[in-house]
Amino acid sequence: MQSIKKVLNSSVVLVVDERGVERVVLGKGIGYGRKPGELVAPDEAHQVFVSLPEGDHRNLVELFAEVPAEYADLTRSIVQLAEAAGFELDPHVYLTLTDHLHFAVERQQKGLVTVNRLAWEVRTIYPREYAIGERAVVLLLERFGVQLPPEEAANVAFHLVNAEVGNSGVDSVRVVQLVSQVATIVTHSTGVQLHFDDLHGARFVAHLQYFAQRFFAGRLATSDDDFLFTNLSSRYPSAVLAAERVRALVQQEYDQTLPNEEIAFLALHIARVVAD
């Protein structure tokens, strides 16, 4: 059984179990009228138990003590939408997303409008997360009466992507930026306008996303077999040329050299999307 150590706000309490382990518990109205020492039954409806490493735990406790309870409720609603869509999120999202939502509303109320210039790319690369972000913008309007720009959906999507279990260590902003850079190079090199809302464009951008995630995670293909690269150089020279320009970009921007195997796979996908 867990007892309340501190009421952070009407929807968040800090509890401690019989072993002395602290957790943050979220639940609409869970802190209302409660006092330290009272027991919290583990089966109380609609609770979320958040356990984080010590530093993040301290920050989470401090954040929930500072921001209105409605922001904790909103984050919980957004996480529930994500989980219903099949996403498994790291509990760290309760810290980062709550803080972001509070700051976003504060900025808007002060007339400080910011624009996410990667919103279109985010919508293309992470459509499911972006859809949840769009729902979050609606919830912000309904609950706070604050109309944030549509691009705010991309900011929420970023937090969801970064919190997805399995994406640890991969910065979604950098992934989107690299995908956008590569797509621009391909368009300029081939003269083919990519349409990411059709099957062929969506397939191509999925490959770019996978490439960018592996690149930033340090998991690129590194085979010494150059057969595919050599073969494609003669069969699809323009596609290989476009891929080589991507290699030059990565070398210049990230000081890393892409191996021939990655260039070959990229050229193969470029040739395919150009042919389609």
Is the pLDDT assigned to residue 44 strictly greater than 60?
A: no
Average of per-residue pLDDT across 51-56: 73
Residue 4 φ then ψ, to 5°: -75, 125
Is the pLDDT assigned to residue 55 strictly greater than 80?
A: no
Task: Tell me yes or no: is domain 172-275 CATH 3.40.50.2300.
Answer: no
At 133-161, the pLDDT tens digits run 999 999 999 999 999 999 999 999 989 98
Query: pTM for this one?
Result: 0.69
Q: What is the pLDDT of residue 183?
A: 92
Where exactly does CATH 1.10.1790.10 map onto the chain? 67-168, 172-275
Q: What is the pLDDT of residue 47?
A: 64
At 267-276, the pLDDT tens digits run 988 988 888 6
Angle at the Cα of 20 from the Cα atoms of 14 and 26, rounded to 5 degrees: 20
Alpha-carbon gap, residue 63 to 99, rounded angstroms: 7
At 173-210, the pLDDT tens digits run 899 999 999 999 999 999 888 877 666 777 788 789 87
At 202-246, the pLDDT tens digits run 778 878 987 898 898 787 877 777 888 898 899 999 999 999 999
Where exactly does CATH 2.30.24.10 map onto the chain? 1-51
Confidence of residue 87 (pLDDT cuts 50, 70, 90): very high
Q: What is the pLDDT of residue 69?
A: 87
Structure tokens at 16: 């401690």
Helix and strand tally (H, E) in the chain? 11, 5
Give the up-direction half-sphere exposure of residue 207: CA atoms within 13 A in the CB hemisphere. 19
Structure tokens at 68: 């209105």
Q: What is the pLDDT of residue 7?
A: 83
At 74-86, the pLDDT tens digits run 999 999 999 999 9
Is the pLDDT assigned to residue 45 strictly greater than 60?
A: no
Type and span of the H or E element at 14: strand 12-16
**Closest by CA position to 87, among listed 162, 197, 12, 179:** 162
**1-51 belongs to which homologous superfamily?**
CAT RNA-binding domain (2.30.24.10)
CATH number of the structural domain 67-168: 1.10.1790.10
